[in-house]
């Protein structure tokens, strides 16, 4: 197994879209596909990867705007994964209407994430990621920890010298801070944090320099 990841920054809210793939098998997943999904499909082809699933850290529209296009580019459509706590967001176009926007509704999630769940890139494959439930930005927010690469796909939980907003529906500052303490800061300092927006960081850097911590 030869794991690697790719990042593309796409859409009007400059979302970081990630793909995690195995160059040996060619299996890969896309994490939080935002707008401009043709670039994701093109990069997957360049990498020699075949997408097998769509994984969502949470159900906000900017993190799932491209999920329908990507899922439906395959026959049968790719399975979509989401924590049940964010199904209400998901079923309302991720709340896009609250911002005067609209997205194409993706297929209903068939992979329902739970804390501690181990995920493979393809059905029957070797697990490569641990799901870490981290509410606070939304009720059903999760992160994906890949120990083999030393990376945490952290969505909107923590950013370089910042944290996720908690002023939206379901947001809770106390819950978010507990999630960060228990699910982020317990990882090795050298763990790379790959957020949904902005530059990457590390656990050690944020422990020392994040003003919210």
What's the pLDDT at 101?
86
Q: What range does the domain containing 35 cover? A: 3-209
Domain CATH code at residue 138: 3.60.15.10
What's the pLDDT at 135?
98
What's the pLDDT at 8?
97
Rounded to an integer, the average pLDDT of 117-136 is 96
What tokens does 52 get? 């097998």
Q: Cα separation of 127 and 31, whole Å? A: 16
Q: pLDDT per residue over 83-118, tens digit each?
A: 999 999 999 988 888 888 899 999 999 999 999 999
The structural domain count of the chain equals: 1
Contact at 8 Å (CB) between 5 and 18? Answer: yes
Residue 152 three-state SS: strand
What tokens does 187 get? 């990882």
């Amino acid at each position: 197994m030869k794991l690697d990841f790719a990042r593309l920054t796409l859409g009007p809210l400059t979302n970081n879209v990630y793909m995690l793939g195995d160059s040996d098998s060619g299996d890969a997943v896309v994490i939080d596909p935002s707008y401009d999904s043709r670039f994701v499909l093109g990069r997957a082809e360049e990498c020699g990867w075949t997408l097998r699933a769509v994984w969502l850290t949470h159900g906000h529209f900017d993190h799932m705007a491209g999920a329908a296009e990507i899922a439906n580019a395959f026959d049968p459509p790719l399975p979509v994964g989401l924590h049940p706590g964010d199904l209400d967001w998901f079923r309302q176009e991720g709340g896009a209407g609250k911002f005067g926007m609209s997205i194409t509704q993706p297929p209903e999630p068939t992979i329902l994430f739970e804390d501690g769940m181990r995920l493979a890139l393809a059905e029957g494959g070797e697990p490569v990621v641990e799901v870490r439930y981290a509410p606070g930005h939304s009720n059903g927010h999760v992160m994906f920890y890949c120990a083999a690469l030393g990376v945490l796909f952290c969505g909107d939980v923590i950013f370089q010298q910042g944290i996720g907003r908690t002023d939206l529906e379901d947001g809770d500052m106390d819950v978010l801070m507990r999630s960060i303490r228990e699910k982020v800061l317990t990882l090795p300092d050298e763990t790379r944090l790959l957020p949904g927006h902005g530059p990457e960081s590390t656990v050690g850097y944020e422990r020392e320099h994040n003003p919210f911590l």
